[in-house]
Amino acid sequence: MAAIPGVWADLPGSTHMRFRVFLIFILFMIGGCGGGDKHLPSSNPPEYDPKKVYTAPAASPSASATVATPTEFERLKSQLESLEAGQKAKGEGKKVPFDPNSLPRFKGVTNPCEALSRLAPGLGNTQLFAGTEGAALKKALGPDADGIAHRMDDQLAEGLKHSLGPGAADCPISVRPQKKSGLFQPARLVLTHASPSQPLLLAQTTIPDTSQDDYDVDEPPIRTENSPPPPDWVGYKITRTMSRIGKEDRPTKGIREDYEMVIAPKVKQCPHLEGPDLKGMVDGTFEWTSMMFRATPGPQSVLYRRKIQATLKGEVGDDAQLKKVVKFDAAVTLQHIGSELPHYSHTIGVQGEFSIDQRTGILQDFKIITVSGFSEGEAQAKDAQLIAWLTSIMGWFSGPEYVRAQAIWNTDNTCVEIIFTPPTKTKKFVPSESTQVKTELRTKKEQALVPAKFKEAKEKPREGNGRVSPREDKSELNRPATFTYQAPASKVLHSGFQVKAVSRAGVAGEKEGEWELAPSSYVLEFKSHIVQEPLNLPNPPFGMFMSSNGFDAHVEATVPLQRRDDGQWVGEGVMQYTTRTLTQPASCEIRTQGAGTTTFHVNGGSISNDPDPFAVNLIILPGQSGEVAETHCTSGNTPEKLRELFATQGVQGGEAHSTTKGGGWSGAFNFTRFRTFNWNKKGYEIGGWTPVLNSDVVAKKTMRVNCGMGLSACQEETTLTLRLADEPGPGASPVR
């Protein structure tokens, strides 16, 4: 038979949480078939006769030498589930007259070692075989019953030691037994008295046990499932298994033990509003199952199971902090069944509450309010105490998950968002004008308004940029908080205010808590300077000194930008150019020079001026500069071949002179980057801008390029500046 999945390793997270995995098994043993004063009323079917021993059909002779098949486990499990499904709590919940001092006491616990001392009275398996049900279980387990209990204690001790980590050295807990003289000496957990500060300790006694040599033990690693939980929950589900199989050459041949433990605490990440008072409530669920299956030759088998299923509710205060008390509604199911063990299945409803440390989630106090599922006269304090030990498991594992969820709903804008009227970035800037901004908070999932405290209101992008008042206010249902923002005399990028909100449904702030005036239109300023050194030929083939094409060009353009309906920014403006020649006096000179205006186009692009992410990308198309290239040859002894060359250009005589358009700033600028021209977008795409903070300048982009062609040295420096316009132009709309 395959091993049942179960739990015997470290939990994820803190040592507190890992400690509780093994604590569960302790409490499981406390609740085990408790007899005597702990005996719970039976809920077996009416036809069940407790004096009759139920046996399985006789097995074939060969079956006695084999381990029970998976079919046997599934058969017993199916019977238990059928019994459980047919059970219902009898009547309404009743208050049980138990002594609160008999319940687990955890108040003031701050660490696992301290919790261990509080739980010492319930440790160990001393009650496993107590009472009528315990005696039946011991009989079904056979002569190895005490050995099973001892091994459970041994595993428990080692598990606790391992789970506590380095701090375990100071904890009153035994260590893994050492093998001496061929025998394992397991640790038996025993209560003992110590100092007043630690009145209960765990000691160990040595109990010889050779059974470790008679079994093959399989303890696979813990299996952790992080999904589920769904995306809006925190929590986990862990499953751990252990199997012990008798060796073929030992008297234990044909014996098998399997253990399973499942723990699954989950808590919603965000509170929801509940009831007419709109309380902030946080739902949780908890599942714990512990199961043991033992099969011996015959075949004889025992299935032992304890289960807790619970729903939880925590309340959140207006400070976004979880109130200490968490209420629960749980069903505790106690079951066993076997081929020679009477069927037993009983489900008890338990309602109560527990309190936790709001910082660590460690259980601090535990209280049962009602217990249901008992017959008249059977609801005794001793019964409630047993159930209390079992249900206290919820507090140990659910408390830390509530603390984890609290950290999430206290993260800005995770569960709630701030709503402004008028909305942010819709009010145009008017110098020194005041605007009343109504402010509310709503949940993101249900879109429900929630009362909130708004605080720490201050101007942005820096304090003193305008004036916001008051600094804090409260919103109630049908009464928003109201802030008044007075604009500054001159606008700065992101002018407005920011505020934080705290509520029973979560907190908000940062970007979603920012209100701004509508951004103005933008203006692109373009400046470019290109210097090209002249090409000087002192001894050309024609025997004359020549100098050509040296120039110093300055270009400026101012382009107002407008946002199109498709979100692209476009515009056109005047581009001015001034170019003077740098050509040296020579027999023949080509002088490039001129001044004038043309049109500069921005054919699209995007502007996002939010800090994260900041991005500017514009498509520019400068107009063609109209410099003139003038040719001057002053020598009367112009070589014939050069005269012929001039003639082809329409120049006659020795005193040659001609003018042509071309070259200059546009020639150098386009030559440098012609390969990057985007024909689809009709321009050069310019990205990689640097943001500028606390200024009307939004961003800058500077390009330094070597524009040399051939033997001529050329340097370009071009700067693009994006700034806010003084006033929004017609058709301008805010950047989103």
Picking from 268, 276, 275, the residue whose alpha carbon sits closest to that of residue 506 is: 268
Tokens of 160: 């606790």
Residue 9: DSSP 8-state: S
Does the global pTM surpass 0.85?
A: no
Query: Which single residue is written with the structure tokens 């970007």?
Result: 511
**Of 3.40.1350, 2.60.40, 2.20.28, 1.20.120, which CATH number belongs to 416-516?**
2.60.40
CA distance readout (Å), 7 to 25, 159, 305, 342, 566: 9, 11, 14, 27, 58
User: HSE of 596 in the Cβ direction (CA atoms, 13 Å)?
Assistant: 14
Picking from 154, 159, 163, the residue whose alpha carbon sits closest to that of residue 212 is: 154
Q: Are 366 and 103 in contact (CB under 8 A)?
A: yes
Question: Three-class SS of residue 388?
Answer: helix
The answer to whether the bond into 422 is cis (omega within 30° of 0) is yes
Q: Are 695 and 492 in contact (CB under 8 A)?
A: yes
Question: Three-class SS of residue 707?
Answer: coil
Picking from 18, 24, 639, the residue whose alpha carbon sits closest to that of residue 392 is: 24
Render 327-365 in DSSP notation, one character per residue: EEEEEEEEEEEETTEEEEEEEEEEEEEEEE-TTT--EEE
Render 497-511 in DSSP notation, one character per residue: EEEEEEETTEEE-GG
Structure confidence at residue 198 (pLDDT): 31
Structure confidence at residue 279 (pLDDT): 95
Residue 713: DSSP 8-state: -
Distance CA 580, CA 317 (A): 75
Tokens of 694: 């606390």
Distance CA 362, CA 360 (A): 5
Distance CA 186, CA 194 (A): 22
Structure confidence at residue 52 (pLDDT): 35
Distance CA 373, CA 356 (A): 28
642 CB neighbour count, 10 Å cutoff: 22
Structure confidence at residue 486 (pLDDT): 97
Which are the contacts of 641, defined by CB distance < 8 A and separation ≥ 6?
Answer: 542
Per residue, the 3-state secondary structure of 528-568, as one string, reads: EEEEECCEEECCCCCCCCEEECCEEEEEEEEEEEEECCCCC
Phi, psi of 316 (to 5 degrees): -110, 135
Query: Which single residue is written with the structure tokens 């751990």?
Result: 240
Phi, psi of 416 (to 5 degrees): -135, 165
Separation of CA 475 from chain center: 29
Distance CA 575, CA 585 (A): 31
Residue 198: DSSP 8-state: S
pLDDT digits (tens, 9 = 90+) for 655-709: 545 556 667 899 899 988 888 899 999 999 999 999 987 677 889 999 999 987 6
Packing angle between helix 15-30 and helix 381-409, nearest 10 degrees?
160
pLDDT mean for each 10 residues of the chain (736 residues): 37 38 37 35 33 34 43 84 66 56 68 62 54 75 74 52 48 43 36 32 39 80 67 85 88 86 90 94 92 83 88 96 93 85 83 86 82 56 65 84 95 96 91 96 95 96 93 95 95 90 96 88 95 81 74 96 88 96 85 93 88 85 90 67 61 50 85 89 94 83 87 90 68 39
Q: Are 446 and 232 in contact (CB under 8 A)?
A: no
Beta-strand pair 546-548/588-608: parallel
660-699 as b/e: b if 16+ CB within 10 A: eeebbbbbbbeebeeeeeeeeeebbebeebebeeeeeebb
Domain ranges of the chain: 15-41+87-409, 416-516, 522-632+662-724
The answer to whether the bond into 220 is cis (omega within 30° of 0) is no
Tokens of 106: 């955890």
Phi, psi of 697 (to 5 degrees): -80, 130
264 CB neighbour count, 10 Å cutoff: 19
Tokens of 316: 């959140």
Phi, psi of 164 (to 5 degrees): -75, -15
Structure confidence at residue 61 (pLDDT): 34
Tokens of 674: 């012609």
Residues in the chain: 736
Structure confidence at residue 397 (pLDDT): 82
Render 443-494 in DSSP notation, one character per residue: ETTT--B--EEEEEEEEESSTTSSEEE-S-EEEBTTB-EEEEEEPPSS--TT
